[in-house]
């Protein structure tokens, strides 16, 4: 009898373990029923995940001191972030507050998993009008309450090496044609005019967009349907590929650069004269030992007669998961993170542009660089398509560009009809998922 009882107890214990195994960890984000603990997923902005923790922890401590709300921080690398968000949306095991790439805002909004910022929510975080319009435009689908608010502003600029330019007797380019001519002069021996993250699908999709926008072409029609194969897009992508294919001012080895840092390192180490990067490159360049006065920045130039689009509106937004049990605390936290005081500290550490009206850029001590980036961001930017399929555009078009660069790098040629065929495939994949 004793043995039987023991066996039964063991069986029940095993049952209990299975049961808790299933339910364990649900809503780990908001386990504290008192509403005193928030979970926050931060995207990697600094030079490493640890660097992000070092920057954010004192701010979170300050927030806790002010409000009594503790914040559990997790910093997530860029390559993992999108998958982590998808998993969180699917499983419901989500943080209370998180960072998203602002270009994903409309896509993530369509999942319905994020809290819309209605007027009450905006009041709670200090009003919609405190944000720069360019940044606020990326919050979500136009005409609906946005599901994200701006946190860090970023923009692409064309970084150039001052010493290399003056040695070659060059001035910073103002048109695409000048840029290519400069790059050709800088390409000698093992040095190249440019480095590109030609194996990074996110960067590639951004430049597909920017080059197409310079031609006045759109990736999505007014009805939200993809229009990837229009002539302006094919020409824009062809122009960008030609930097490696026809102009030969980019080292074919760049086709393996699957993140922006590798291209920036080439620039900081004097291997190339120019690099296209977002303004947060400053911290990476400095970490490689290149001084701030050794380089200048101008807007990424459009071809003569093209539209003056130099960047998409890049940056990071903040969202609140709809099923958070700590909505008020979450709103307080968003208010804190988007306050002038916190922004001042974070913009400087992460080399970000201000997303608040009337705030001066603090990401660099170089006034000229700050002015250039502020101008690009406010006047020469265009948001990526604010449609639900935006992230599909990024992955399908970006990967198609990776493959085209790979083909060029390994000695093949990519014609305009090849580009059109690749874009047709990308478009069909987006349509099939729609």
Partner 1 sequence: MSAVSASTAVKKSGAAAGAPGGKARKARRKGWWLPYALLAPAVIFELVIHVIPMVTGIWMSFLKLTKMFIANWGNAPFIGLKNYAVALDFNSAVGMGLLKSFGITVAFTIIVVGLSWGFGMAAAIALQKAFRGRAVFRTLFLIPYALPMYAGVIAWKFMLQKDSGALNHLLFDNLGLPGDKPFWLIGDNAFAAVVVVAIWRLWPFAFLMLMAGLQSIPTDVYEASAVDGAKPLRQWWAITLPMLRPINMVLVLVMFLWTFNDFNTPFVLFGGSQPPAGDLISFHIYNASFLTWNFGSGAAMSVLLLLFLLVVSGIYLLFMNRRKDNA
Q: Which residues bind partner 1 (CB under 8 A)?
A: 4, 7-8, 11-12, 14-15, 18, 21-22, 79, 83, 86, 89-90, 92, 107, 110-113, 199, 201, 253, 255-256, 258, 388, 391-392, 395-396, 398-399, 402-403, 406-407, 409-410, 412, 424-430, 432-434
Q: How far apart are CA 339 and CA 316, in angstroms?
A: 15
Is 325:301 a contact under the CB 8 Å cutoff?
A: no
Q: How far apart are CA 299 and CA 311, in angstroms?
A: 8
Residue with Cβ nearer partner 1 (25 or 412): 412
Q: How far apart are CA 52 and CA 40, in angstroms?
A: 13
The least CB distance from residue 295 to partner 1, in Å, is 24
Q: How far apart are CA 383 and CA 267, in angstroms?
A: 27
The least CB distance from residue 100 to partner 1, in Å, is 13
- DSSP H or E stretch at residue 38: strand 37-43
The least CB distance from residue 37 to partner 1, in Å, is 23
The least CB distance from residue 3 to partner 1, in Å, is 10
The least CB distance from residue 395 to partner 1, in Å, is 4
Q: At what angle do helices 201-214 and 390-409 cross, to 10 degrees?
A: 100
HSE toward the beta carbon, residue 241, CA cutoff 13 A: 27
Is 179:302 a contact under the CB 8 Å cutoff?
A: no
Residue with Cβ nearer partner 1 (69 or 272): 272
The least CB distance from residue 112 to partner 1, in Å, is 5
Please choose, from the candidates 171, 190, 167, 191, the residue with its C-alpha nearest in 3D space to the C-alpha of residue 181.
171
């Amino acid at each position: 009898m004793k043995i039987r009882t023991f066996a039964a107890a063991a069986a029940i214990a095993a049952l209990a373990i299975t049961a808790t195994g299933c339910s364990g960890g649900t809503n780990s984000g908001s386990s504290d029923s008192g509403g005193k603990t928030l979970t926050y997923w931060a995207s990697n902005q600094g030079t490493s995940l640890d660097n992000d923790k070092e920057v954010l922890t004192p701010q979170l401590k300050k927030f806790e001191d002010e409000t009594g709300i503790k914040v559990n921080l997790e910093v997530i690398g860029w390559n993992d972030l999108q998958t982590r968000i998808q998993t969180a949306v699917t499983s419901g095991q989500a943080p209370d507050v998180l960072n998203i790439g602002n270009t994903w805002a409309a896509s993530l909004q369509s999942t319905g998993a994020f809290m819309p910022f209605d007027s009450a929510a905006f009041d709670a975080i200090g009003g919609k009008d405190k944000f720069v319009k360019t940044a606020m435009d990326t919050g979500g689908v136009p005409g609906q309450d946005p599901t994200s608010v701006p946190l860090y502003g970023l923009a692409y600029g064309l970084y150039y090496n001052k010493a290399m330019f003056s040695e070659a007797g060059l001035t910073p380019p103002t048109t695409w044609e000048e840029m290519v001519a400069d790059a050709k002069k800088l390409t000698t021996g093992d040095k190249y005019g440019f480095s590109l993250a030609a194996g990074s699908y996110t960067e590639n999709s951004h430049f597909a967009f920017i080059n197409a926008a310079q031609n006045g072409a759109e990736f999505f029609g007014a009805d939200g349907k993809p229009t990837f194969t229009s002539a302006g897009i094919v020409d824009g992508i062809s122009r960008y590929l030609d930097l490696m294919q026809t102009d030969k001012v980019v080292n074919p080895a760049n086709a393996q650069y699957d993140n922006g840092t590798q291209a920036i390192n080439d620039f900081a180490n004097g291997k190339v004269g120019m690099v296209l990067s977002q303004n947060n490159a400053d911290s990476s360049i400095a970490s490689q030992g290149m001084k701030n006065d050794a380089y200048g920045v101008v807007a990424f130039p459009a071809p003569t007669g093209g539209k003056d689009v130099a960047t998409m509106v890049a940056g990071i937004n903040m969202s609140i998961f709809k099923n958070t049990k700590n909505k008020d605390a979450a709103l307080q936290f968003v208010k804190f993170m988007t306050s002038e005081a916190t922004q001042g500290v974070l913009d400087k550490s992460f080399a970000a542009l201000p997303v608040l009206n009337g705030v001066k850029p603090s990401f660099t001590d170089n006034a000229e660089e700050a002015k250039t980036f502020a101008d690009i961001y406010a006047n020469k930017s265009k948001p990526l398509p604010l449609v639900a399929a935006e992230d599909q555009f990024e992955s399908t078009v970006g990967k198609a560009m990776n493959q085209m660069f790979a083909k060029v790098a390994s000695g093949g040629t990519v014609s305009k009809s090849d580009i059109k065929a690749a874009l047709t495939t990308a478009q069909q994949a987006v349509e099939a998922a729609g």
